[in-house]
Structure 1
């Protein structure tokens, strides 16, 4: 009965989003989404999301300086930097490499960089999280991912790259929305929204379980917890937050 209801409601949402599906069939939605809609949407989302997660982010990044190298330098790479939502939470002097597969965030990223002069911005790379070949092995103290792993092609592939570029003892910090408890109404609605949400929001997957991916990866230590972010009337309230040490 529940599965039938999911399929019915899913079909209803697909009808509502029919213009987007038609544009997708014509090959017009993806370029419009990547160039205009998604960068605009994420810039608008960032302000509200940071207000709702400011306390969690401050607590998450509080111990970043502990992973600085022997010279006191903290070399950090952020996966899927987008418009630079996390810059304000990084410690002064932090050396930041920005990466994103979508170059259309450039304008909002430049604005955010100018507003965060306490950081040293080293490079901006147009690269997917699964292929950071321009970054040397064991060259970074910290890698950060927030609201990114939901849309990558392979979480396993991303974590392999993270482990490759981190120095021994380096840390991977994450804050990601994830699948809700399977017995919950939240998960029911995630299943309903899934195909339409993924199409509209540039491949964002609602039902990934990152805990399993992190535990399968070869980190020496994983510190995580599950939290709920009050993004009311959205299917992305369940989150996982923490850091893992190489």
Structure 2
């Protein structure tokens, strides 16, 4: 496992995609929301226009082979004239704590949670990403490129071309952004469900431990309510005491003898 992949990558397997055919003109950047966000982030990390322009041109030539996307890595064989080069982009994989925090922040957002559970990657997920202070899109010190060509530019046109082609893949499968960071779609949804379950269980525990509010009637059982109602009734007056019994009659004097 490479340093870029890190300890956060679980059993997420690599995914392969066929090579793109040559394109004449047209946009080199993907057109969907996530594709545009990816391309913009790449251009912010690599702001020199020369390598970017060469990369956009090369991306349309059809000389990049099948693309492999895996945690922390995007790779392809590139055909440069008579030579074949191995080109790859590397990104930092989120660790387990960062994923947990991201799902906690996502669970705060019902609309985004519902969309993710339905299989969509909502645009507003970026707000949850920012709240969790993790990276989903490339950033400074986070994205790097490697190619065994002899180009003087860094990144070379092959690497920037691969970055633009990844934006084309994001047009049809934005979940690849999560795969690069260490989770495939199935793992991501299961972890979000676990975060929601833990939150529900914690909420039940808080209700059980909540002190009784006499005005609101919270935290009690029906039996508790009957007992309180009974104690709240005014005390009834005690019945009068029965009369004391009459004292017993004095016994007659016993006979001491018999008269003659």
| TM-score (norm: length of structure 2) | 0.25
Q: Which has the higher strand share?
A: 1
Higher alpha-carbon Rg: 2
| TM-score (norm: length of structure 1) | 0.26
